[in-house]
């Protein structure tokens, strides 16, 4: 505001000097330069130069303001673009969470369907063996059929990571793998396995079922 007032004041002084030099509008008299009563041409040129400088400064200031407004518009546009991207990413992430949650629930509920389909086939084999045993008196063939079904079941479990423990009579009793149901006198040393009542199984690196055994007291019968 002060700069504008200064410009107006300078312009007014300039016009006063012009009027003082040439008189009112329409006067044809040519002034005679007098350092005491009239303004010289040098002073007029200086005033014109000052006016030009003021105009140039005003133009430059206007240009700077215009550039600042352009930069501000760019920053606002970039901000709005980033906000839109963040909103889209948030929406996509929510959709991803819902989708993975559903897939997880489906896996828990139906993940064993492939394994169960194999067990269904095993049930079919057992049922067919039962029908065959009722229709024949050849015990050997029936036993052979049952053995084939058993081997198929063993392979089926092994493919899924379930294996029988290799527990033998005479092995040392191990609380990490065995469960002693009783003790009996035997020629074997104390805490040796005398009999295996039920086979133990492991699932990968975990105990699925402990082997149920009878251990020796160490006393001879």
Mean pLDDT per 10-residue interval, the chain, length 221 residues? 47 54 46 46 62 66 66 80 89 90 82 83 89 84 89 92 94 96 93 95 94 91 63
Residue 3 pLDDT? 43
Residue 166 pLDDT? 93
Residue 173 pLDDT? 96
Residue 16 pLDDT? 59
Please list, in sequence order, all residues whose beta carbon lies within 8 angstroms of the beta carbon of residue 177, skipping any fewer than 6 positions away: 165, 167, 200, 207, 210, 211
Residue 24 pLDDT? 46
What is the C-alpha to C-alpha distance for residues 114 and 5, in angstroms, rounded to an integer?
Answer: 90
Give, as one character, the DSSP assignment of residue 114: H
What is the C-alpha to C-alpha distance for residues 218 and 186, in angstroms, rounded to an integer?
Answer: 6
Residue 31 pLDDT? 47
By CB atoms closer than 10 A (0-12, 13-18, 19+), residue 86 is exposed
Coil, strand or helix: which one is 216?
strand
Smallest CA-to-CA distance from 43 within 60, 18, 68 is with: 18
Give, as one character, the DSSP assignment of residue 172: B
């Amino acid at each position: 505001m002060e700069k504008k007032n200064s410009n107006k004041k300078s312009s007014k002084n300039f016009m006063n000097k012009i009027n003082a030099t040439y008189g009112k509008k329409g006067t044809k008299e040519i002034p005679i330069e007098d350092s005491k009563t009239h303004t010289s041409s040098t002073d007029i040129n200086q005033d014109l130069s000052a006016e030009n400088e003021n105009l140039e400064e005003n133009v430059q200031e206007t240009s700077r303001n215009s550039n600042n407004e352009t930069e501000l518009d760019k920053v606002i546009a970039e901000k709005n673009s980033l906000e839109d991207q963040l909103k889209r990413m948030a929406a996509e992430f929510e959709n991803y969470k819902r989708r993975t949650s559903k897939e997880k629930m489906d896996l828990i509920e139906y993940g064993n369907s492939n394994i169960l389909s194999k067990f269904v086939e095993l049930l079919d084999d057992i049922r067919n063996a039962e029908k065959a045993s009722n229709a024949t008196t050849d015990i050997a063939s029936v036993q052979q059929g049952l053995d084939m079904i058993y081997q198929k079941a063993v392979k089926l479990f092994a493919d899924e990571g379930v294996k029988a423990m290799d527990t033998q009579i005479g092995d040392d009793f191990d609380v990490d793998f065995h469960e002693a149901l009783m003790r009996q006198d035997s020629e074997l040393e104390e805490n040796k396995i005398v009999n295996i009542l039920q086979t133990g199984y492991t699932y990968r690196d975990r105990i699925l079922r402990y082997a149920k055994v009878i251990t020796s007291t160490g006393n001879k019968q």
